[in-house]
Chains A and B, each alone.
Chain A
Amino acid sequence: MAGDSGQAAIIAEGLGKRYRVRGMAAPTLFGSLARLGRTVPVPEFWALRDASFEIPRGRTVGVIGPNGSGKSSLLGLVAGTITPTCGRVTARGRICSLLELGAGFHPDLTGRENVFLNAAILGIPREDVRRRFDRIVEFAGLREFIDMPVKHYSSGMYVRLGFAVAAESDPDILLIDEVLAVGDVAFQLRCLDRIRDLQRRGRTLLFVSHALQTVEEFCHEVFLVHKGSIVARGEPAPTILRYIREFMGEGGPVFTQEFGSREAEIAGVTLRGADGREAGVLETGQAMHVDVSWRAKRRIDRPVFGFAIKTGNGFQVFGSNTQLAGHPVDAIEGEGTIRLSLDPLALMAGNYMLSLSIHSWDHAQQYHRREDWYPFAVRNNTGAPGAFFLQTRWSNPPAAAT
């Protein structure tokens, strides 16, 4: 144990956090006096229970799970801001938490004063801040505003300055809680660059995110948290897939709807990557296959299979069906599978929802429609920016005859 722990940046042993639910009201003295002498059963719940793990130095671990599953409690416990109810957690090295950027900024003080204050709170020696001050301001892109009180900053500027201080502080352990979803795209890219830089320098990162493609891209290991327990941990891809299957979409936090007469049903769906293996995170520019298994209670002639893809925030990206695509299906009966291929996948990085339907040729009869049913994530490894991936080809034009 002692030998191992020398290498570990974070060690948790039987870590647990229990909250007593006191209702909506803030605790008051009179409330406590009124309760005195009576034993009122206080409902309690475990935000995190029996968490034991070691994170070796230099590793990036992602924490995923449904809302309220205990992800943020886990980070708070590691950061030392939340006192555990039982167990013990040790974090070796200087920790910096990006739990809330700009926490501790004082609105009346200038950007410059706040940089020094925030750095002191994060435990960075004043001398180091003085040396790195220009880089911090440069990174935040706030040179002309640095001597202005931060109450006049926009929320984006606020966050940028907060991130710049934290990132330039070069911590041994960086805790990130869903904060990278702020700022403009250019700043987000710079943040991700910064994180890659920290990874290269062997820093330990623990980060909570709902952006599954970012988790898959950056993490060496993923913890899946549900109802206060770490229910799975391991390689990013299979753990994310398990999360998508078990906790998202149907029965998960996403609101899905079902319609139809159910004479023919969509029984299941499997997403496969270019290599034919099941995947929860697909890649931009590569093939994506959707195997839809169906069940028909009676013979249905000329059914139409349809699909639609929406982004995580409900914007419809694309929808089509076998009729429009010129692939009419003669008839279905019993059980079977039909494959939809998107090759190359034109979607860029993000979280998406897949809707599927079966209806009659004349659209009069809806057999089964599952709206926002199946979630998946897309990762962009092509390096190309933009809204969509367009298949392109470069070549020398045929020599023009003069």
Chain B
Amino acid sequence: MNEVEPSIVSTPAGARALPGGLFTRATAELLASLVARELKSRYKGSVFGFLWALLVPLFMAFIYVMFLRLLVGRGVSVEGIIVGVFAWQYTVQCVQGGMTSITSNSNLVRKVFFPRILLPVAVTGANLVNFLLSLIVQFAVLAVLGASGGLGIGGALWALPAVVLWLTVFNLGLALLLAGANVHFRDTQHLVGVLLSAWFFVSPVMYDLSLVEPFAEGRPWLMPLVWLNPMTGLLTAARACVLPDVELPWTLWSTAGLLIPALLLGAGVAVFRRAQRHFADLL
């Protein structure tokens, strides 16, 4: 026994592992294993396997483009929709996977001590890997569209990592909040399903802000509200990174909206830590 022995100290404030707490090598290895499990199990047994991670957002984008062309006509760029749908899918998967990350592992949570926070973090991590791979497809599609007379790729590409990071911060915050909430209130799942579809329509996923701006005339409260939805800033930023002629306006309200992910992550961690004390009792 040359190293300091690990201990688990359990008090009404929760169980803690000492020394090192959360940031140890063992935790990193466990996180890597959980991410790998998440990715492996998702596509095992399916014919296309990992390709689904790329095909799903592509199909979604295709469907949206077709319908929008039918309903709205011209006005929204195909490229804009593709970028929007890919990023939106990332958030949706984190919300859905994160929400059930504790309840679907109830066996584990009730029987073995390990940092529970790793479960929603692993879901987010696995979806991040998926998202990064889907970005390759996204660029390929944009390039093909560009070669056939589309917008092509351009914009503040250098800022893309920052946008991905910020989107991940937002998604992780949501996953943490919902993971804890779903253990304590099982109707979270149903509520979130409804809210997600409402959120889809109020976020500029299959439209961009040029479509909203006409409505804002004479309604000074509308644009601040739109910008306070963090998804507005994130999607616009994602488009500004890869598409020419899209800009993220830095106004008071867009900045406020883009601060929300950080606040949400902070709240998510705090809420999760409180909620996890009762996981074993409620599962």
**Partner-contacting stretch, out of A118-126, A254-262, A263-271, A368-376:** A118-126
Determine if A285 is an interface residue (Cβ-Cβ < 8 Å): no
Name the residue on B nearest A127 (C-beta): B29
Q: How far is the CA of A19 from the CA of B29 in the complex (A)?
A: 34
Q: Give the segment of A27-35, A192-200, A302-310 that binds chain B.
A: A27-35
Interface presence of B26 (CB below 8 A): yes
B282 and A94 contact, CB distance less than 8 A = no
Given contacts A85-B12, A90-B7, contact A29 B108 (CB under 8 A): no
Would B184 and A27 count as touching, CB distance under 8 A? yes
A68-118 residues with Cβ-Cβ distance < 8 A to B are 76-95, 97, 99-100, 103-104, 106, 108-109, 113, 116-117
A80-B8, A81-B112 known; A123-B107 Cβ under 8 A: no
B280 in the interface, Cβ–Cβ < 8 Å?
yes
Q: Assess whether B44 is in contact with A108, with CB atoms less than 8 Å apart.
A: yes
A81 pairs with B111, CB closer than 8 A: yes
Judge whether A401 is part of the interface by a CB distance below 8 angstroms: no
> Closest approach, in angstroms, between the C-beta of A121 and any C-beta of chain B?
6
Q: A28-B187, A79-B112, A80-B15 are in contact. Are A91 and B7 (CB under 8 A)?
A: yes
Cα distance A83–B108 when bound, in Å? 15
Residues 103-147 of B at the A interface (beta carbon under 8 Å): 105, 107-114
Query: Which residues of B24-54 have CB atoms within 8 Å of chain A's CB atoms?
Result: 25-26, 29-30, 32-34, 36-37, 40-41, 44-45
Find chain A residues with CB under 8 A from B186 CB: 26-28
Determine the distance from Cα of A103 to Cα of B283 in the docked complex, in whole angstroms: 14
Query: What residues of chain A lie closer than 8 Å to B278, measured between beta carbons?
Result: 83
Question: Bound state CA distance, A251 and B112, in angstroms?
Answer: 35
Contacts of B114 in A (CB 8 A): 121, 123
How many pairs of residues, A versus B, come closer than 8 Å at their CB atoms?
130
Residues on B with C-beta less than 8 A from A77 are 10
Closest chain A residue to B16 by CB distance? A80
- Known A88-B11, A103-B111, A121-B114; contact A83-B41, beta-carbon cutoff 8 A: no
Binary CB contact string for chain A from 30 to 60 against chain B (1 if under 8 A, 0 otherwise): 1010000000000000000000000000000
Q: Quick check: is A216 within 8 A (CB to CB) of the other chain?
A: no
CB-CB contacts below 8 Å: B89-109 with A: 105, 107-109
Interface range on chain B: under 10, 10 to 19, 20 to 34, or 35 or more? 35 or more
Q: Among A32, A78, A97, which residue has its beta carbon within 8 angstroms of that of B185?
A: A32
| Residue A172 is within 8 A (CB to CB) of chain B in the complex | yes
In Å, the complex CA distance between A88 and B15 comes to 10
A93 touches B6 (CB 8 A): yes
For the complex, what is the distance from the CA of A91 to the CA of B14, rounded to whole Å? 14
Pairwise interchain contact B111-A97, C-beta atoms closer than 8 A: yes
- Chain B residues with Cβ below 8 Å from A94 are 5-6
Chain A residues with CB under 8 A of B112 = 79, 81, 97, 99, 103-104, 121-122
Query: How distant is A93 from chain B, measured CB to nearest CB, in Å?
Result: 5
Q: Tell me the complex Cα distance, A91–B113, Å.
A: 12
User: Does B217 have its Cβ within 8 Å of any Cβ on chain A?
Assistant: no
Q: How far is the CB of A148 from chain B (nearest CB, A)?
A: 12
Task: Tell me which residues across on chain B come within 8 A of A84, comparing CB atoms.
Answer: 10-12
The answer to whether B198 has its CB under 8 Å from any CB of chain A is no
Q: Evaluate contact between A100 and B111: CB separation under 8 angstroms.
A: yes
Picked from A76, A82, A108, A121, the residue with its CB within 8 Å of the CB of B108 is A121
Say whether B5 contacts A93, CB under 8 Å.
Answer: yes
Q: How far is the CA of A80 from the CA of B12 in the complex (A)?
A: 11
Q: In the complex, are the beta carbons of B187 and A29 less than 8 A apart?
A: yes
- Are A120 and B110 in contact (CB-based, < 8 A)? no
- Report A-chain residues with C-beta under 8 Å of the C-beta of B184: 27
- Given A26-B186, A27-B186, A32-B185, residue A126 in contact with residue B29 (CB < 8 A): yes
**A119: nearest chain-B partner, CB-CB:** B33
Q: A28-B186, A94-B6, A120-B29 are in contact. Are A79 and B113 (CB under 8 A)?
A: yes
Answer whether A117 and B37 are a contact pair too, CB < 8 Å, given A27-B184, A79-B113, A126-B29: yes
11 A-B contact pairs sorted by A residue (CB < 8 Å): A27-B184, A27-B185, A83-B10, A83-B14, A94-B5, A95-B8, A120-B33, A121-B112, A123-B30, A123-B114, A125-B29
The chain B residues found within 8 Å of chain A, CB to CB, are: 5-12, 14-15, 17, 25-26, 29-30, 32-34, 36-37, 40-41, 44-45, 105, 107-114, 184-188, 191, 277-278, 280-282
**Which 3 A-B residue pairs are closest in the complex by CB-CB distance?**
A80-B113, A80-B15, A29-B185
